[in-house]
Amino acid sequence: MKRIILLGPQGCGKGTQAKFISEKYEIPHISTGDIFRYNIKNKTELGVEALKYINDGNLVPDDLTNRIVEDRLKQEDCVNGFILDGFPRTIPQADALREMTDIDYVVLIEIPDEDVIFRLEGRRMCSGENCKDLIYNINTSPKPQNEGVCDRCGRGLYQRDDDKVEAIRKRLQEYHEKTSPLIDYYGDKVISIDGTKDIEEVTKDIFDKLD
């Protein structure tokens, strides 16, 4: 079984690595941030509620977030495992998750705060419906071939409101206060990975540990 949690500050490469892990082990990539953004875009009740918190860089309340994950883990594609990206982010969320399922691995991708700010400020997303999995970065890589435009579909790129610098600082503070205590919480299950290396090297380090 590969029931995996990915931990690490925003911008450490969780989303990118989650995609590779998901493909290799054929398990679904569950990102609470993506679920919230999908609902915000489609103006669902959940989206309207979540938006109140997300744009300012605050966490969405635990009970709302826990319910979403519980529903998602009940779906059939999670029978052989899953990779949780962005959840749990607090001790109460980890307690709730423990009631839902066992966890086999906790992968912690570590990078310093300055790198987080540099990377997140450069992050750009495609506004096209079919490119939700594409993440560009004008400070690091992959840079778009033409500035401000998606390589795949040609639509405009945008910066997430929560990737603006004030929100980034708030999110980092939230990470240190509320999420990093999870490293001790999961103790021996935690596999530490140096997230400052190139993407391919980080992927290799993760696969070496999970194989």
Q: Which amino acid is at 181?
A: P
Nearest residue to 202 via CA among 7, 4, 13 = 13
**Could you tell me the smallest distance in angstroms from the CB atom of residue 186 to ligand AMP?**
15
Going through the chain in order, the beta strands assigned E by DSSP cover 2-7, 29-31, 81-85, 105-110, 123-126, 135-137, 157-158, 190-194
Q: Which of 3, 119, 124, 171 is catalytic?
A: 171
With b for 16 or more beta-carbon neighbours within 10 A and e for fewer, the 94-124 pattern comes to: bebbeeebebebbbbbebeeebbbbbbbbbb
Q: Which of 3, 72, 119, 123 is catalytic?
A: 123
User: What part of residues 98-137 is at the interface with ligand AMP (CB under 6 A)?
Assistant: none
Q: Which of 37, 89, 119, 124 is catalytic?
A: 89
13 vs 33, which CB is nearer to ligand AMP? 33
User: What part of residues 26-85 is at the interface with ligand AMP (CB under 6 A)?
Assistant: 32-33, 36, 53-54, 57-60, 65
- Tokens encoding 151: 């390589």
With b for 16 or more beta-carbon neighbours within 10 A and e for fewer, the 177-189 pattern comes to: ebbeebeebbeee
41 vs 204, which CB is nearer to ligand AMP? 41
**Could you tell me the smallest distance in angstroms from the CB atom of residue 146 to ligand AMP?**
25
Under the criterion CB under 6 A, does residue 7 sit at the interface with ligand AMP? Answer: no
How many residues sit close enough to ligand AMP to count as binding (CB under 6 A)? Answer: 17
- The contact set with ligand AMP (CB under 6 A) reads 10, 32-33, 36, 53-54, 57-60, 65, 86-87, 89, 93, 162, 171
